[in-house]
Amino acid sequence: MAIEFEDPVTAGTVLIREAIQSQNFLTGVAGWQIKSNGDAEFNGVIIRGELEGPSYIINAAGAFFYDGPPANGNLIVSIAGASGTDAFGNNYPIGFGIENSGFLTVENSSGVVGVQIGGQFAQIIGYSQSGITEDTFIRDGILHFGDASNQTRAASIFSTAGGTALLIQSRTTNTLTTYSQIYMQPGLPSVTGATDVPHIDIGAPPNSAVDLRVSGSVVKTDNSGVPEVWGTPAYNANWLASTTFNGSTAWGSLQFRKDSFNNVVVIGSFKAGAVLPGSTVFQFPVGYRPQKQWPLTIQRNNGGTLTFANVGISTAGNFNLLAATGNGMAINNEYLVSGSFPLGDLP
């Protein structure tokens, strides 16, 4: 005898009721439910095989996402424990992969793109208050700082045959003729034709005849950027500062400082006192002493007789009058000196 239900759940394989569910079903909280329209809710699901959707496949090899239905050429993102090929012939890498020139894009809550990564290109975009974009981007193995939209560059770091190069440019359009640059590159010919040496080009576009142009002064500074100031010597006994030479009073007293090329510049006037002094006029402080003895040309006024000779700067920093070159000492003699000596390696 057949048993008939007054309110059947199914008619064959078709669900008649709007939904079937567990006794404890509560939307979003507990139990399970299957609706006749195809919707379902479960507390947890274990899938022993493959999960497929209209544009994705998740299986034992990984998770694969497609632009449209899964097909050859449609794979755009993959997450896999090992590299391989999917069932449609798309190759994918180990880990996280972006395929077919797709981009990993990071946006803020307003949809503004901040980061893009894809293929051989990566870009970090910053937006100023005026709305102008300022980008940091990698394209074809070159790190750029500038505007990726019109390919103008503020700076680039890239590899060359001789090593890594740095290019800093100032220009408003992507042209080859209207910009200035600082270019540091090792091992390749410089603008002046020297080869196989590190060099810096500062000036107009590549192959300009100008290697370095500076508007204003180039001065030595300390590590905090404070410019080098003129120093005055602490004279030995019976040596004095002076502003006169052979009747002229327009001279400055002797001073010294380092220039931008790490040379010590010495210029000015000094004199002997009324008592005969020693041959060492003063001593340069530490940091202003050459690695080898260095000569400077000096002019002497001995009672109206003018002569030229040399002084010697010793490695201890002593400013010595060299009698052997005609620079004798006498009371009330006046001296003028102008020259420089290097602090680096000497021949």
pTM for this entry: 0.48
Rounded CA separation 153/174 (Å): 8
In the chain, how long is the greatest CA-to-CA distance?
Answer: 149
Give the N- to C-terminal CA distance of the chain in Å, as an integer.
120
Name the one residue in this structure whose structure tokens are 């993959």: 78
* DSSP secondary structure letter of residue 303: T
SS3 letters across 1-14: CCCCCCCCCEECCE
Return per-residue pLDDT of the chain as tens, 347 residues: 455 545 566 655 666 678 888 889 899 899 988 888 888 888 888 888 888 889 999 999 999 999 899 999 899 889 999 999 999 999 988 888 877 666 666 666 665 655 666 655 555 555 544 444 555 655 555 555 655 454 455 566 666 665 666 666 665 555 555 556 666 665 544 444 444 444 556 655 555 655 665 556 677 777 777 888 999 999 999 999 999 999 999 899 999 999 888 899 999 999 999 999 999 999 999 999 999 999 999 999 999 999 998 999 999 999 999 888 878 788 999 999 999 999 976 66
CB atoms within 10 A of CB 157: 14
Q: Which CATH superfamily is 239-342 part of?
A: Phage tail base-plate Siphoviridae RBP, head domain (2.60.40.1830)
- What integer pLDDT is reported at residue 201 of this predicted model? 60
The pLDDT value recorded for residue 126 is 55
pLDDT value at residue 94:
87
Tell me the β-bridge partners of 63.
58, 79
- CATH 2.60.40.1830 residue ranges of the chain are 239-342
* pLDDT number for residue 246: 94
pLDDT at 207: 54
pLDDT, position 132: 45
CA atoms of 58 and 114, how far apart (whole Å): 29
What CA dihedral angle connects 267, 273, 277 and 281, to 10 degrees?
Answer: -20
Dist CA 96 CA 117 (whole Å):
12
